[in-house]
Amino acid sequence: MDLGSISLVAFFASLMVASTPILLAALGEMVTERAGVLNLGVEGMMIIGAICGFAIAIESGSAAAGFLGAAAGGALLSMLFAILTQFLYATQVPSGLALTLVGVGLASLIGQPYVGESPPLMGKLHIPVFESIPFFGPVMFQHDPIVYLSLILAVLVGVFLKYTRGGLILRAVGENHDAAHALGYKVRLVRVMAIGFGGAMAGLGGAYISLIRVPQWTDGITGGIGWIALAIVVFASWKPERVVFGAYLFGGLTALQLNLQAANIPLLFVLPYLVMLAGVIYFVIAVAVGSWKKTLDVKPTLKTFAQFIGVGLVLLLIGIATNYASSLDLLMLSSAPFVATIVVLVVISARSKGASNGPAMLGKIFQAH
Amino acid sequence: MFKKILATTALAVGLAGAAFADDKTKVGFVYVGPINDGGWTQGHDHGRQELEKHFGDKVETVFVENVPEGPDAERIMTQMALTGTDIIFATSFGFMDPTINVAAKFPDVKFEHATGYKQADNVSVYSARFYEGRAIQGTIAGRMTKSNIVGYIGSVPIPEVVRGINSAYIHAKKVNPDVEFKVIWIYEWMNPAKEADAAKALLEQGADVILQHTDSTAPLAAAKEAGAIGFGQASDMYDFAPNPRVSSIIDDWAPYYIERTQAVMDGTWSSTNTWGGIASGMVGIGEITDAVPADVKAEALAMKDAIVAGTYHPFTGPLNKQDGTPWLAEGEVADDGALAGMSFYVEGLTGEIPQ
């Protein structure tokens, strides 16, 4: 075991890189779902974005042009879904799954001539002044422009949904499309635009993988990240700040797991403490914010805090009981997307009894009459 | 109703296929990855193309790529067997049980399973002694590393991969006693994003040589960015030469595929267990580039010659297991049985093999 060999700066920097594609795709999907449309084709749109971005970057010699092309490609593919679900009234779940199949196959076809090519690289954008802050500089302010773009987009999406008229209309369409229609809003147009935005964002996320994170083209390059993005939207209760948190949590776990392996430390050896630490941080922030806003409700805060600590203790016990068996690391790493999906389903079904946080019209077909 | 029509059509096509197959030998290939992965599957598909070139009109080949290791593989092999395929090459370790299952249902069809150990009357197994190539890689890695940290991206923890890690480590240690190996398992044969992340994590922790047992070129791209070196895996990956790719292990399956297909044509096919190495041409060592100093290159090539001549075996004692218990005595050579089932690290490696 060699904890010292993990460079914290490098770790947090790689965490941000690993999280960015998930964040981009999840933000887009969140907007789509807030308009009441469940598009399960994120993986397909991501991989189309990955290959469109890659091809255009190579042909034009510019990574920035590649990203624009990726957004266009993802949006274009999502229009197929829009036609199916908004004009032909196809059911959304199978249409979305089909979109993934189409996307993966099409990307493979388009990608044939691009195997083994190296794309033009996107330079890093060091933010002046901030980049020289010790620790935080190299971690947060010495990245490629897309990392910043993803965070700026998260803020913009949040502001759009909460404070603008357009956001209000979009949410109205997602919560009650009949009422929105009766008020004269163009439900179908809003939804088509939301689907297109989701496609463009997924495309950006895919291109981030093929142009920056890997950077090259091979079949199946997105490797299930689209599914994780889908799961995160539900986990995050369709709230942008929580989507950011979820994306960074998942990206962080991926980066952490790899770093721990290289340093030869079992994941279960550190995970319990991290979970408990997260609980403490949550508690401190909740108390601080609560007493500042004078809305502190001690009981639920304590309950959540206790849940964090409880999960941490359970993980600690599992670790000790199994003597930190490496097979559990394997399980956590390789089954993460599946486990995430299952937990999401559990959460959804649990919520459907009480007040649901999801858009009320999610997945429902709207037909104007 | 629609299903019924489909089934009838499939049957008709199948029968037609069988009828045509009389004069042509039909050869099927089941791939775990895409044919353009730049590594493992591309190597097998190259073998398939060479097979077509060699026999011309006398063979017909079919392949299915991206086949998951599980029930899907069984379905696809059944489909192939039903449509008149004479011999099926299943080219991934995880196809082992599906191959055995399907073979039991089609005794007249010949099956060939790569890198496995389960044989049957109509199932042969074949593999390559990649560990011979790993010995040469290890030598170069041990000589080239300045940080004395070598990163190794493991795929799935099966004996073949463990053997490679051991062989590389033994020979790196031999030329550089201070060398240390850091191993990351990604539990997949190919996942470019994960491979890139793993390579970056290793590079961040000081590795300046990256060895990979995964199939994409993503680790080489990461090594290039960091100014480290790496090796081509399964295919030459020459696009990354002379730096970061300083050499490679190339799988050449073509001669084997031609030989086995010929045996089917002649009616002389029988169930065999083939394990070819550098000497038989199944394992090739890609050109060692000028990024490697001449004396290191000479040393590596001398080892290659000794392996080919049979005067040197990469697993020659004295060697201890990781826990310090003796494995091979001075001068003792590991037998194939021990190598085939290798599930332990040799002394000096840290960490444990995921079970």
Residues in CB range of A163: below 8 A, 6 or more apart:
none
What average pLDDT does the segment A147-156 reach? 96
pLDDT of residue B17: 46
Q: pTM for the full model?
A: 0.81
pLDDT of residue A99: 96
Smallest Cα distance from B263 to chain A, Å: 34
Smallest Cα distance from B93 to chain A, Å: 18
Residues in CB range of B230: below 8 A, 6 or more apart:
B209, B210, B211, B212, B219, B220, B223, B240, B244, B245, B246
Top pLDDT among B50 and A299 is at B50
CB-based contact B31:B66 (threshold 8 Å)? yes
C-alpha to C-alpha distance for A258 and B207, rounded to whole angstroms: 14
Contact (CB<8Å) A216/B218: yes
Residue A146 within any structural domain of the chain: yes
Residues in CB range of A290: below 8 A, 6 or more apart:
A296, A297, A301
**What pLDDT band is residue A80 in, cutting at 50, 70 and 90?**
very high
Q: Angle between the A326-351 and A225-235 helix axes, to the nearest 10 degrees? A: 50
Lookup: tokens for B164: 């490679």
pLDDT of residue A342: 60
Residue A153 within any structural domain of the chain: yes
Question: How many domains in chain A?
Answer: 1
In this prediction, the answer to ipTM > 0.85 reads no
Residue A254 within any structural domain of the chain: no
The one-digit pLDDT tens for each residue of chain B (355 residues) are 444 444 444 444 444 444 444 578 999 999 998 887 778 898 999 999 999 999 999 999 999 998 988 889 999 999 999 999 999 999 999 999 999 999 999 999 999 999 888 999 999 999 999 999 999 999 999 999 999 999 999 998 889 999 999 999 999 999 999 999 999 998 888 888 889 989 999 999 899 999 999 988 889 989 988 899 999 888 888 888 788 999 999 989 999 999 999 999 999 999 999 999 999 889 999 999 999 999 999 999 999 999 999 999 999 989 999 999 999 999 999 998 889 889 899 999 988 888 7
Residue A256 pLDDT more than 50?
Answer: yes
Lookup: tokens for B224: 């290039």
Question: In B, what residues contact A, Cβ < 8 A?
Answer: 33-34, 36-38, 66, 151, 182-188, 190-194, 196-198, 200-202, 204-207, 216-218, 221, 239, 350-355
pLDDT of residue A281: 84
Burial A270-298 (b: 16+ CB within 10 A, else e): bbbeebbeebeeebeebeeeeeeeeeeee
Residues in CB range of A331: below 8 A, 6 or more apart:
none
Residue A143 within any structural domain of the chain: yes
Q: Which of B86, B44, B84 is nearest to B64 (CA)?
A: B44
C-alpha to C-alpha distance for A285 and A281, rounded to whole angstroms: 6
Task: Give all domains of chain B, ordered by start, each with its CATH number.
Answer: 2-128 (3.40.50.2300), 130-251+282-340 (3.40.50.2300)
Render pLDDT for A306-361 as a digit per residue (tens, 0 to 9): 877 888 888 888 888 877 776 666 666 656 655 655 665 565 555 544 445 788 88
Q: What percentage of chain A exceeds 90 in pLDDT?
A: 44
Top pLDDT among A286 and A39 is at A39
Q: Of B191, B197, B354, which has the smallest distance from its Cβ to A330's Cβ?
A: B354
Residue A36 within any structural domain of the chain: yes
Smallest Cα distance from A277 to chain B, Å: 24
CA distances from A17 to A11, A206, A251 (A): 10, 13, 8
Lookup: tokens for B51: 């097979």
A4 touches chain B (CB under 8 A): no
A260 touches chain B (CB under 8 A): no
Residue span of the structural domain in which A93 resides: 3-237
Residue A78 within any structural domain of the chain: yes
pLDDT of residue B46: 93
Q: Residue B247 belongs to what H/E stretch?
A: strand B245-251
Residue A206 within any structural domain of the chain: yes
Please give the mean pLDDT across all residues of chain A: 86
Residue A84 within any structural domain of the chain: yes
C-alpha to C-alpha distance for B5 and B234, rounded to whole angstroms: 43
